[in-house]
A and B are shown apart, each in its own frame.
Chain A
Amino acid sequence: MSNIQHRNTVQEDPWSALKAYTTARIALGRTGTAIPLKEVLSFRLAHAHARDAVYSRLDINLLLEELHAFMLPVVQLHSSVAGRHEYLQRPDKGRKLDTGSIEILQAQPAAFRQKDVVIIVADGLSATAMNLHTAPLLNHLLPLLKTAGLSIAPVCLVEQGRVAIGDEIGELIQAKATLMLIGERPGLSAADSMGAYITFQPRTGNTDEVRNCISNIRQDGLQYIPAAGKICYLLQEALRLRLSGVELKDNYKDPSLLTG
Chain B
Amino acid sequence: MSYQHTIQFRTYQFDDLRTLLAKATPFRSGDALAGLAAATYEERVAAQLALADVPLKTFLQEAVIPYEEDEITRLIIDTHNQAAFAPVSHFTVGELRDWLLSDDADTQTLQQLAPGLTPEMVAAVSKLMRNQDLISVAQKCEVVTRFRNTIGLKGRLSVRLQPNHNTDDPKGIAASIIDGLLYGCGDAVIGINPATDSPQAVIQLLHMLDQLREQFDIPTQSCILCHVTTALQVMTKAPVDLVFQSIGGTARTNSSFGIHLGLLQEAYDAALSLNRGTIGNNVMYFETGQGSALSANAHQGVDQQTCEVRAYAVARRFSPLLVNTVVGFIGPEYLFDGKQIIRAALEDHCCGKLLGLPMGVDVCYTNHAEADQDDMDNLLTLLGVAGCNFIIGVPGADDIMLNYQSTSFHDAQYVRKVLGLKAAPEFEGWLQRQGITNAGGQLQPVGNTHHLLTYQAG
Residues of A within 8 A of B (CB): 11, 13-15, 18-19, 21-28, 30, 32-35, 39, 43-44, 46-47, 50-51, 53-54, 88-92, 125, 185-189, 191
**A26/B396 in contact, CB under 8 A:** yes
**B398/A54 in contact, CB under 8 A:** no
Given A43-B398, A186-B367, A188-B405, A14–B372 Cβ distance below 8 Å?
A: no
**Residue of B with least CB distance to A207:** B297
A-chain residues with CB within 8 Å of residue B404 when the two chains form the complex: 187
Interface of B is mostly: mixed
Residues of B within 8 A of A (CB): 29, 32-33, 163-166, 169, 171-176, 178-179, 182, 332-333, 336, 366-369, 372-373, 394-398, 400, 403-405, 408, 410, 413-414, 417, 443, 445-448, 450, 453
Q: What is the CB-to-nearest-CB distance from B246 to chain A, in angstroms, rounded to a whole number? A: 17
A-chain residues with CB within 8 Å of residue B169 when the two chains form the complex: 21-22
**A24/B400 in contact, CB under 8 A:** yes
Q: What is the CB-to-nearest-CB distance from A78 to chain B, in angstroms, rounded to a whole number? A: 19
A-chain residues with CB within 8 Å of residue B403 when the two chains form the complex: 185, 187-189
Question: B178 contacts which of A18, A25, A43, A92 (Cβ < 8 Å)?
Answer: A18
A-chain residues with CB within 8 Å of residue B396 when the two chains form the complex: 24-26, 28, 35, 39, 43
A-chain residues with CB within 8 Å of residue B173 when the two chains form the complex: 22
Interface centre among B178, B405, B410 (most CB of A within 10 A): B410
Given A33-B414, A54-B368, A89-B332, A23–B400 Cβ distance below 8 Å?
A: yes
The list of the 6 closest CB pairs from A to B, nearest first, reads A25-B396, A14-B448, A22-B172, A187-B403, A18-B175, A33-B413
B-chain residues with CB within 8 Å of residue A51 when the two chains form the complex: 367
CA gap between A53 and B366 in the complex, in Å = 13
Interface centre among A22, A23, A34, A189 (most CB of B within 10 A): A22
**A185/B367 in contact, CB under 8 A:** yes
**Residue of A with least CB distance to B401:** A24
Given A22-B165, A22-B400, A90-B33, A11–B172 Cβ distance below 8 Å?
A: no
B-chain residues with CB within 8 Å of residue A187 when the two chains form the complex: 367, 400, 403-404
A-chain residues with CB within 8 Å of residue B447 when the two chains form the complex: 14
**A125/B368 in contact, CB under 8 A:** yes
B-chain residues with CB within 8 Å of residue A92 when the two chains form the complex: 33
Q: What is the CB-to-nearest-CB distance from B320 to chain A, in angstroms, rounded to a whole number? A: 27
A-chain residues with CB within 8 Å of residue B450 when the two chains form the complex: 14
CA gap between A30 and B408 in the complex, in Å = 12
CA gap between A83 and B417 in the complex, in Å = 43
Given A13-B182, A24-B176, A33–B368 Cβ distance below 8 Å?
A: no
**A24/B372 in contact, CB under 8 A:** no
**A91/B366 in contact, CB under 8 A:** no
A-chain residues with CB within 8 Å of residue B333 when the two chains form the complex: 88-91
A-chain residues with CB within 8 Å of residue B395 when the two chains form the complex: 22, 24-26, 28
Question: A54 contacts which of B171, B367, B417, B443 (Cβ < 8 Å)?
Answer: B367
Given A22-B176, A24-B176, A15–B182 Cβ distance below 8 Å?
A: yes
**A33/B443 in contact, CB under 8 A:** yes
B-chain residues with CB within 8 Å of residue A11 when the two chains form the complex: 445
Given A15-B182, A18-B178, A35-B396, A88–B368 Cβ distance below 8 Å?
A: yes
Q: What is the CB-to-nearest-CB distance from A89 to chain B, in angstroms, rounded to a whole number? A: 5
Q: What is the CB-to-nearest-CB distance from A79 to chain B, in angstroms, rounded to a whole number? A: 14
**B410/A24 in contact, CB under 8 A:** no
**B179/A27 in contact, CB under 8 A:** yes
Q: What is the CB-to-nearest-CB distance from A15 to chain B, in angstroms, rounded to a whole number? A: 6
**B175/A26 in contact, CB under 8 A:** yes
CA gap between A160 and B400 in the complex, in Å = 27
B-chain residues with CB within 8 Å of residue A46 when the two chains form the complex: 398
Given A21-B172, A51-B367, A188–B414 Cβ distance below 8 Å?
A: no
Q: What is the CB-to-nearest-CB distance from B113 to chain A, in angstroms, rounded to a whole number? A: 37
B-chain residues with CB within 8 Å of residue A22 when the two chains form the complex: 165, 169, 171-173, 175-176, 395, 400
Q: Beyond A22-B171, A185-B403, A189-B400: 12 further Cβ-contacts under 8 Å?
A: A11-B445, A13-B179, A15-B448, A23-B166, A24-B400, A25-B397, A28-B410, A47-B373, A88-B336, A88-B368, A88-B369, A186-B368
**A50/B400 in contact, CB under 8 A:** no
B-chain residues with CB within 8 Å of residue A88 when the two chains form the complex: 332-333, 336, 368-369
A-chain residues with CB within 8 Å of residue B373 when the two chains form the complex: 43-44, 47
**B33/A91 in contact, CB under 8 A:** yes
